[in-house]
Amino acid sequence: MTSLSELQDFIRFQDNFKNFLNSSKVPDICKTESCILGVDEAGRGPVLGPMVYGIAYCPVSKTKILNDLGCADSKALTEEKRDDIFCKMLSNEESLNTVGWVAEVISPNYISNSMYRRAKHSLNEVSMNSAIGLIKKAAEDGVNITEVYVDTVGPPEKYQAKLSEIFPNYKITVAKKADSIYPIVSAASIVAKVTRDHALKLWKFKEGLEMTHTEFGSGYPGDPLTKKFIRDQIDNVFGYPLLVRFSWSTAELMLQEKAATCVFEEVDDEGATKKANTKSISSFFAPKTDEGKPRKRHKFFEERFLSVSNPFG
C-alpha cells in the first residue's frame, strides 16, 4: 500500500459489519533494533460509523523521523494535513524503512452487540482488547518492542497495570492526551483517524440507502447532519442501518420514540399459570425427598437377573 487511493480500494472491499485489520510491512530494522510502539484510537464517541484503533512503531534510535513527518495529535491537525502525513508514511522511503503501523476497524454493529449481549462487554473492554490484540500482532510479526505508549480517556493507572501484567517485558506508559505528548502515539493517532475518515466516506449501505457521507456528516451526535440522519433514517420495525451504533443513548431514545414497541414473551414468568403435573426443569436436579422408597430397577437389569455387588466388601 503506497497511496491513499490504495487505502480506499482496500476499505471499499471490506464488509462494513465486520471488524478488519490493515497494516504496513514490518521494516527490517524494526525486527533487530529496540522499538517504541504507540497506541491510539479514533471515533470513540460518534453514534455513526466504526471505531478505529491504530498502532505505530519505529526504532528508538530513529524517532527523529516522526518529527520530520510532522506527527502531532491528529485532533489538532486538519483532515488534509493528516492525509498528507499518512501519505508520507505510505510512500516516503525513509518512513517505509523505519516506521510500521497497524489499524483495526471495529464495526458499529460489533460495538453495539458487545454492549447489549448478556455478558455485557463495555466500550472500554472493546477498546482494551483491540489495543492488546494490536500489540500482540506487532510482536508476532517480529517487531522488537521494548517500550509501549498508550493514550487513554479513563484512569491510566488501572489500564497501565493490566498491560504491564500482560506484557511484563515491555516498559508500559499509559497517559491521558498521550497523543499530544509522545510523537509515536501521534503517529498511531493519525493512522487511526485517517483510516476512520475514509471508512466513513466509503460506507456502503447494505440496506439499499443511496446516500454519501456528505448527507450524514461526521457521525458525532452534535453534528446537524448526523442529527438529521438519526431522526429521519429509522425504520419502524427494523430500526437503523448498520452505520448506527444503536446502543448509544442518542439512537436508543429515538428508537423508543419512533420505532414500534417490541414485547418479548416472558418464559417461566412467576405470575403465569402452569399445567397440572408439569415439572420445572430445575426439579430434575433437586435432591430426592422420598429416600425411603426403593427405586424401581431398570428392565435391562431385571431381564438379565443382574444385581449390584461389592467385590471388595
Binding-site annotation, residues for a divalent metal cation = 40-41, 151
The SS3 call for residue 200 is: helix
Could you give the C-alpha distances from 137 to 50, 187, 215, 224, 246, in angstroms and in order?
A: 20, 18, 36, 39, 30
- Position 1, amino acid: M
C-alpha cell of 59? 526504532
Rounded Cα–Cα distance for residues 219 and 198 (Å): 13
- Position 171, amino acid: K
Rounded Cα–Cα distance for residues 99 and 86 (Å): 11
Provide the 8-state DSSP code for 309.
Answer: -
- Beta strands 35-42 and 145-152, pairing class: parallel
Rounded Cα–Cα distance for residues 226 and 220 (Å): 7
Rounded Cα–Cα distance for residues 46 and 286 (Å): 50
Residue set of the binding site: 40-41, 151
Q: Are 152 and 178 in contact (CB under 8 A)?
A: yes
Phi/psi-derived region of residue 305, left when phi > 0, alpha when psi is between -120 and 50, beta in every other case: left
